[in-house]
C-alpha cells in the first residue's frame, strides 16, 4: 500500500468515526442512579460523624449482596465451583475481611497482598501474577496449607521447586496460560502449546503438587473472549495424554467481569472525542454522557457454563474457579469531599485530590458528582476540581444539585474498583475509610 492509499484509508476511517454517534447513557438509568445515591448519601451524612474529609465510605453490606449474586449465578449451572476475590481491584483490609466472611477465598498478586490475606485469617488463597520473587515464594510455601501458587513460567517453576525442596515442604500449584500470545499480554503465563511440557516438567519436582490451570482476560463487557479461549483450551486438552489430563483438578477462568451498569464515559473517551483531541479540536460537554454496555452476570454464567460443559467437562470433571474483583467491589465504596473554594459559578475546588484514586479517572470516565448539602435532580455545568497542584485533578465537569457553595459535601458514588488500591501519596494525605453501617 502506498503512502497515498494509506492516508486515504485513515481519512475514511476518521470520517466514519465522526459520522457515527457513540451510544448515549440512557437518561432514565442516570436519573435512577442519582436518586438512589442521593438517598444513600443523605443516610451517610445523618448516621456517621464526618469529622474530616475527604473520606472513603465503605458499605460492608454490599459485599455480601454482590458475592451472593455472583455465586448463585454460576452455581445454577455448574456442579463444583470455587470463588476468589481479586484483591488487586481494591486492597482495603476492611473489604477483604468482609469478602472472607461470605465464604470466598482471596486471589492475591504479591507478597504484600498475601501477607494481608494471611493476617486476616484467610485459609484458601490463590497466589497469581508474574515475577514472584524468592521471598514471596518462600512465604507461599511456608503457608502451604492455605496457599495455591499459580506459576507464571518455567523459570518460576524451577525457583519454586528449589525453594520448596530446601524448606522440606510440599506446595499446591497450578500454571497460568496466556490468552494473547502477542503484545503486552504475553507477560502473563505460558503458551497453551507448552502446557504438556510444563506438566511433565512438574514431575521433576516431588515437592510440587500440580493441580490445575488458570487463565484470565480483562475488561470483559461480554463473554465472547472467554468463550473463544475455553474453546481453544478444549482443543489443547484433547491433545494431552490422559495421565496428564487426570492431574488437572481445577481450571480457574479468572475475572474481569464488568459491572452490569456498563462503562459510563465522558465525550473525550469516545472514538470521536479521542480523534478530536488528536486534531486539537476537543470540546468538553457537561451533559453528554456515553455508555459501553455490559452483559448481566446471569448471562455470563449461563453462556460460559454451556461452553465449559461442552469443551472442558466433556474431557475433565474438574472444579471451575472464578476471580471476580471489579464486579464485587465497584459498588462497595464511595468518596465524600467538601467544597473548599468556589472561584466562579462554574468553578469549584474541593479539599481532596484525585491522588485518592491514583489516576486521572474522570477525564475519561463519567460518574455523577452529587451535592449532598443542596440536592436536586438537575445537573449543572461546573468544573469540580481537586486541590492538587496539577490541572488534571478533575472530579467532574458538572454537579447534581441546586447550587454549590463553600462547605458543601459532595459524593462520587461507586468508587470501589481500581481507585483505593491505586491511591498514591502525592501532595495531599490519603483519605481515611469509614465503614458503614
Cα Dmax for the chain = 72
User: Of 327, 329, 332, whose CA–CA distance to 70 is shortest?
Assistant: 327
The separation between CA 175 and the C-alpha centre of its own chain, rounded to angstroms, equals: 21
pTM equals 0.95
* DSSP output for 280-311: T-----SS--EEE----HHHHHHHHHHHHHHH
The pLDDT assigned to 62 comes to 98
Q: For 356-392, how does the pLDDT look when each residue is reduced to its tens digit (9 = 90+)?
A: 999 999 999 999 999 999 999 999 999 999 999 999 9
What size, in residues, is the chain?
A: 437
Going by pLDDT thresholds of 50, 70 and 90, the confidence category of residue 285 is: confident
Cell output for 85: 476475590
The percentage of residues in the chain with a pLDDT greater than 70, rounded to a whole number, is: 97
The C-alpha torsion from 29 through 16 and 295 to 24, rounded to 10°, is: 0
Is residue 13 a contact partner of residue 272, using CB atoms and an 8 Å limit? Answer: no
What are 433's three cell numbers?
475509610
pLDDT confidence of residue 148: 98
Nearest in space to 128 (alpha carbons), one of 235, 226, 253: 253
Q: What is the pLDDT of residue 9?
A: 73
365 contacts 263 by C-beta, under 8 angstroms: yes
Minimum mean pLDDT range among 12-26, 66-80, 185-199 = 12-26
**Is the Cβ–Cβ distance between 170 and 207 less than 8 Å?**
yes
For residue 356, count other CB atoms closer than 10 A to its CB.
Answer: 26
- DSSP H/E element including 105: strand 105-108
- Compute the C-alpha angle 139/142/144, nearest 5°: 110
- What would the pLDDT profile of 311-320 be if each residue is shown by its tens digit? 999 999 999 9
DSSP 235-277: HHHHTS-HHHHTT--EEE----BPPTT-EEE-GGGSHHHHHHH
Query: Quick one: average pLDDT of 319-327?
Result: 98
More confident call, 159 vs 185? 159
3-state class of 64 per DSSP?
helix
Question: CA distances (Å), 252 to each of 102, 103, 323, 330, 369, in order?
Answer: 19, 17, 8, 22, 37
Name the grid cell of 62: 454490599
Domains within the chain, CATH numbers bracketed? 21-56+331-436 (2.40.37.10), 61-259+294-329 (3.20.20.10)
283: confidence class by pLDDT, cuts 50, 70, 90: low
Strand segments (E) across 153-259: 171-176, 208-214, 250-252
Q: 83 in the Ramachandran plot: left (φ > 0), alpha (ψ -120 to 50) or beta?
A: beta
Residue 242 CA, distance from chain mean position: 36
Judging by DSSP bridges, how do beta strands 250-252 and 171-176 pair with one another? Answer: unpaired
Q: How far apart are CA 434 and CA 437, in angstroms?
A: 9
Binned at pLDDT 50, 70 and 90, residue 141 comes out as: very high
Helix (H/G/I), strand (E/B), else coil: 1: coil
Taking only the tens place, the pLDDT of each residue in 62-86 is 999 999 999 999 999 999 999 999 9
All three cell numbers of 124: 484458601
Q: Is the pLDDT of residue 4 over 80?
A: no
Rounded distance, CA 1 to CA 341, Å? 56
Burial of residue 45 (number of CB atoms within 10 Å: 0-12, 13-18, 19+): middle
- Rounded CA-CA distance 188/153 in Å is 8
Amino acid at each position: 500500500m502506498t503512502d497515498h492509499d494509506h492516508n486515504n484509508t485513515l481519512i475514511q476511517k476518521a470520517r466514519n468515526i465522526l459520522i457515527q454517534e457513540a451510544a448515549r447513557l440512557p437518561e432514565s438509568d442516570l436519573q435512577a442512579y442519582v436518586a438512589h445515591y442521593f438517598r444513600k448519601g443523605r443516610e451517610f451524612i445523618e448516621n456517621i460523624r464526618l469529622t474530616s474529609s475527604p473520606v472513603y465510605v465503605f458499605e460492608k453490606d454490599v459485599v455480601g449482596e454482590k458475592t451472593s449474586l455472583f455465586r448463585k449465578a454460576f452455581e445454577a449451572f455448574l456442579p463444583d465451583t470455587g470463588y476468589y476475590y481479586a484483591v488487586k481491584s481494591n486492597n482495603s483490609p476492611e473489604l477483604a475481611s468482609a469478602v472472607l466472611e461470605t465464604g470466598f477465598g482471596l486471589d492475591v498478586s504479591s507478597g504484600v497482598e498475601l501477607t494481608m490475606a494471611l493476617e486476616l485469617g484467610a485459609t484458601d488463597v490463590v497466589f497469581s501474577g508474574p515475577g514472584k520473587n524468592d521471598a514471596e515464594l518462600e512465604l507461599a510455601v511456608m503457608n502451604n496449607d492455605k496457599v495455591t501458587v499459580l506459576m507464571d513460567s518455567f523459570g518460576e517453576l524451577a525457583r519454586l521447586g528449589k525453594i520448596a525442596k530446601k524448606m522440606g515442604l510440599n506446595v499446591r500449584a497450578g500454571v497460568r496460560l496466556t490468552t494473547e500470545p502477542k503484545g503486552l499480554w504475553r507477560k502473563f503465563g505460558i503458551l497453551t502449546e507448552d502446557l504438556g511440557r510444563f506438566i511433565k516438567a512438574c514431575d521433576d519436582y516431588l515437592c510440587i503438587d500440580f493441580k490445575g490451570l488458570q487463565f484470565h482476560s480483562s475488561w470483559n463487557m461480554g463473554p465472547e473472549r472467554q468463550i473463544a479461549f475455553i474453546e481453544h483450551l478444549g482443543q489443547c486438552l484433547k491433545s494431552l495424554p490422559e495421565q496428564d489430563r487426570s492431574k488437572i483438578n481445577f481450571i480457574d477462568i479468572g475475572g474481569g467481569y464488568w459491572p452490569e451498569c456498563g462503562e459510563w464515559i465522558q465525550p473525550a473517551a469516545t472514538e470521536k472525542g479521542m480523534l478530536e483531541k488528536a486534531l486539537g479540536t476537543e470540546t468538553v460537554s457537561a451533559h453528554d454522557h456515553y455508555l459501553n454496555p455490559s452483559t448481566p452476570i446471569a448471562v455470563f454464567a449461563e453462556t460460559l457454563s454451556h461452553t465449559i460443559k461442552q469443551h472442558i467437562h466433556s474431557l475433565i470433571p474438574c472444579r471451575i474457579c472464578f476471580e471476580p474483583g471489579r464486579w464485587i467491589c465497584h459498588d462497595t465504596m464511595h468518596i465524600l469531599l467538601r467544597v473548599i473554594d468556589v472561584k466562579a459559578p462554574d468553578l469549584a475546588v474541593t479539599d481532596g485530590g484525585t491522588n485518592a484514586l491514583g489516576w486521572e479517572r474522570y477525564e475519561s470516565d463519567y460518574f455523577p458528582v452529587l451535592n449532598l448539602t443542596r440536592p436536586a435532580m438537575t445537573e449543572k455545568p461546573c468544573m469540580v476540581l481537586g486541590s492538587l497542584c496539577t490541572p488534571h485533578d478533575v472530579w467532574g465537569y458538572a454537579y447534581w444539585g441546586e447550587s454549590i457553595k463553600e462547605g458543601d459535601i459532595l459524593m462520587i458514588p461507586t468508587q470501589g474498583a481500581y481507585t483505593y488500591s491505586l491511591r498514591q501519596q502525592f501532595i495531599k494525605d490519603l483519605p481515611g475509610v469509614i465503614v458503614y453501617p
